[in-house]
Structure 1
Amino acid sequence: MDKFIDLHVHSTASDGTCTPAELVKLAHKTGLLAIALTDHDSVDGIEEALMAADRFQLELIPGTEFSTEYHGKEIHVVGLYIDYKNKALTDQLRQFRDFRDHRNEKMVLRLQEEGFSITYNDLLKTFPDCVLTRAHIARYLSDTKQVSSISEVFDKYIGDGCRCYVDRPKVTPMDAVSLIHQAGGTAFLAHPCLYKMNRRELTAMLDELAGAGLDGIEAVYSCNQGSDEKDFKALAEHYHMIISGGSDFHGTNKPYIKLGTGKGNLKIPYRILENIKTYHQKEK
C-alpha cells in the first residue's frame, strides 16, 4: 500500500485556519503518515503539533518557512528538522514578528484612509495567538462583508505594489539557509514554480544558494504545471541536492488546496521523507 506525506503545511500559528492539533487530526483522518509544520517565520505551533502527533501516532517534522528577498522578488525557504528552540532562530523569528506587526499597523491605517472599518485591535481580537499576516487582514475584510472576496483585497489593496501595501525588511535566501543550518535543519527552496523566473534567472539564484549550502528543492508541489516537477527534479540532480514536496495547505485561506493532495492530484511518497531523513542524519 502506498504511503503519502505532506512536507509544507500551515496552521493558525501563521496564516492557516487549522490549529496545529487540528492539522494533525486532519492528516491522520486523510491517511497521511507524516506532515511538516512549516508556518511562516514562526515555530509557535510546533509544540502543540508534536503533542497531537504523539496521540495520533503521526510523524511530525518541525519546520518553518522563511520569507526572504532576492533581487526584488519574494523567495521562500523551508527548513525541516529544525531545532525549534534554537536561540539564534527564535531571536530572528521574534525580530521578524516585530517588523511584521509594525507593517500590519501601517497597512491597517492605509486601509482606514480608503474607507474600510478595521483596526489593529480588531485583528488581534479576531485572530488571537496568531502571527498576523496580510492573509488575516484580507480574511477580516471578507468576513465582515466589506469586500466580495479575499482575492479582491490582495488584488486592489494589499498585494505587492498596491496602494495600501507596505514593504518590510527581509533576509536573503542565503541568510535563511544559514539560519536553518544553525538550528540543525535541512533547507529547501520552496515552490520555485511561483517565482516566474526563466531558466537563466532560476539557475543564477540556485548557483548562489548552492554556494550557501542549500540542501534541496521543493520539486513536488500543488501548483506545478506541465514539466515543472520533472524540471525541478533535474535541477536538484544537477546541483546534487535532494527533493521535498508539499501542498502548501492553508485551510480555508486557500480552499482550493487540500492537505496531502493539493489541487486533487498531488501525491508525495513517503520515500521522499526517507531520503531527507537519511541525508539529514549524514549532515548532522
Structure 2
Amino acid sequence: MIIDLHTHSRFSDGTQSPAELIAEAAARGIAVIGLTDHDTTSGWDEAGEAAHDAGIGLVRGMEVSCRFEGISVHLLSYLHDPRGAELTDVVADARDGRMVRTRAIVERLAEDYPITWDFVLSCTGEDATIGRPHIADALVTLGIVEHRGAAFESLLSVGSRYYVSLPTISPLRAIRLIHEAGGVAVFAHPRAASRGRVVPDSGLQAMIAAGLDGIEVDHRDNPLPDRAELRRTALDHGLLVTGSSDYHGTGKPNRLGEHSTSLDVFERLLDRASGIECLGFDRIGF
C-alpha cells in the first residue's frame, strides 16, 4: 500500500491541477495521497472531488513556510481545520508576503534580463501561491536557464544578488497554530542541505519540545546517513516517521510515490488529528 503524504499542485508550485494529480496517483496505484501546497488550501475541494471519483484516500494538508534563526523550515500540516483558525490568517499573510517578495526578485532580475512581472504571472496557475519556482519557470520559457534546478543554482540561489528573503513565522509558533486547528505537524525534508542551510540539532530539539508530531525521514533530499540519525531521534521522542515524494509534476525530478509512509504510522497520524477527516478512509480497505 503506497501512502504518499507530500505533493503539490498548480495552487502552489506544482505543474498539475489537483484533479490531474489525483488521476495520476490513482493510475500509479497509490492508495492515499496528501495534497500539501505551500501556504494554501485552495486545491482541497477539487482534490476531494477527484479523489472520490478515483476511489483513493486524500489527506488534505498544507506546507507552511517558516524560518528558524534565519534558516528556512517547511512544516507539513495534516488534517487541520482551516475554518476560523489563526493558522489560516497567518498563511494568508505569508502568501501576501511571498507575492511582494517574488515581485521584488523579478524587478531585480529585470535590470539584467528580459523578464517582467506580467510574464511571470502568465506562467502560473490561477490562485497559485506565487514564488521562486514560478520565476524559474519563466526563466526557462525565456531561454535564460535550461531548467528549474539551474535557476535555483544560479539566479535564484540564496547567495544571488537577485535574492530577496521571505518573511515567515517561527516553526515553534507554527506547530502551536497547527495543533490549535486540530492538525498534525511534521517537519519536511529536515536534512535537505542541497537546498541551503539545515536546522541544527538544537533547532530540532526546540521543535520537538514545542510539540512536533513527526519527521519526514524518507525523502530524496535527506542523505541516507542522516535518515538513520533522524529515525533514532524519532524513536527516542515518540515521533511519527513519514516517507513522501514531494512531487511537483514536471517541476522537479521527484517521482510520485517514490517514498511511502507505513500503514501503522498513517493510522497513528489519523489518531492524532482532530481537525478534519481523511477523505475516502472507508474505501481504502484498512
TM-score scaled to structure 1, two decimals? 0.89
Aligned: 1:109 with 2:107: yes
1:224 CA displacement: 3.1
Q: Which residue of 2 aligns with 1:168?
A: 166
Could you list the runs of 4 or more consecutive aligned residues of structure 1 that deviate by over 6 angstroms after TM superposition?
Answer: none
Aligned: 1:275 with 2:268: yes
Task: Determine which structure has greater relative contact order: mean sequence separation of CA pairs < 8 Å that are 6+ residues apart, divided by chain length.
Answer: 2
In 2, the alpha carbon distance for the partners of 1:65 and 1:8 equals 9
* Distance change in 2, residues 1:120/1:276 (3 Å): same
Superimposed CA distance per residue, residues 162-218 of structure 1 (whole angstroms, 9 cap, x where no aligned partner): 11111121111111111211221000111112148xxxx643112211221111111
1:132 CA displacement: 0.9
Secondary structure (helix, strand or coil) at the match of 1:193 reads: coil
Deviates more, 1:227-236 or 1:6-15: 227-236
Q: How does 1:144-159 map to 2 (within 5 A)?
A: 144-159=142-157
In 1, the alpha carbon distance for the partners of 2:193 and 2:61 equals 22
In 2, the alpha carbon distance for the partners of 1:166 and 1:189 equals 24
In 1, the alpha carbon distance for the partners of 2:14 and 2:84 equals 24
1:241 CA displacement: 1.6
Q: Which residue of 1 aligns with 2:43?
A: 45
Deviates more, 1:234-243 or 1:220-229: 220-229
* Distance change in 2, residues 1:195/1:148 (3 Å): closer
Q: Which residue of 1 aligns with 2:248?
A: 250
Secondary structure (helix, strand or coil) at the match of 1:33 reads: strand
Deviates more, 1:154-163 or 1:166-175: 154-163
In 1, the alpha carbon distance for the partners of 2:109 and 2:97 equals 19
Contact (CA 8 Å) 1:37, 1:46: kept in 2 or not? yes
1:28 CA displacement: 0.5
Deviates more, 1:181-190 or 1:119-128: 119-128
1:221 CA displacement: 1.5
Contact (CA 8 Å) 2:215, 2:230: kept in 1 or not? yes
In 1, the alpha carbon distance for the partners of 2:84 and 2:62 equals 13
Gaps of 5+ in 2: 278-286
Gaps of 5+ in 1: none
Q: Which amino acid aligns with 2:105?
A: M
Q: Which amino acid aligns with 2:122?
A: K
Q: Which amino acid aligns with 1:278?
A: D
Q: How does 1:1-284 map to 2 (within 5 A)?
A: 3-114=1-112, 116-129=113-126, 130-195=128-193, 202-254=200-252, 256-261=253-258, 266-280=259-273
Task: Tell me how many residue pairs correspond in the alignment.
Answer: 273
* Distance change in 2, residues 1:87/1:222 (3 Å): same
Contact (CA 8 Å) 2:241, 2:261: kept in 1 or not? no
Superimposed CA distance per residue, residues 38-92 of structure 1 (whole angstroms, 9 cap, x where no aligned partner): 1111111111111111111111111111111112211111111111334422211
1:230 CA displacement: 2.6
* Distance change in 2, residues 1:223/1:128 (3 Å): closer
Contact (CA 8 Å) 1:62, 1:83: kept in 2 or not? no
Contact (CA 8 Å) 2:242, 2:260: kept in 1 or not? no
Secondary structure (helix, strand or coil) at the match of 1:122 reads: helix
Contact (CA 8 Å) 1:64, 1:78: kept in 2 or not? yes
* Distance change in 2, residues 1:155/1:22 (3 Å): same
Q: Which amino acid aligns with 1:61?
A: V
1:229 CA displacement: 2.8
Q: CA RMSD in A?
A: 2.2
The percentage of counterpart residues that share the same residue type is 34
In 2, the alpha carbon distance for the partners of 1:153 and 1:223 equals 18
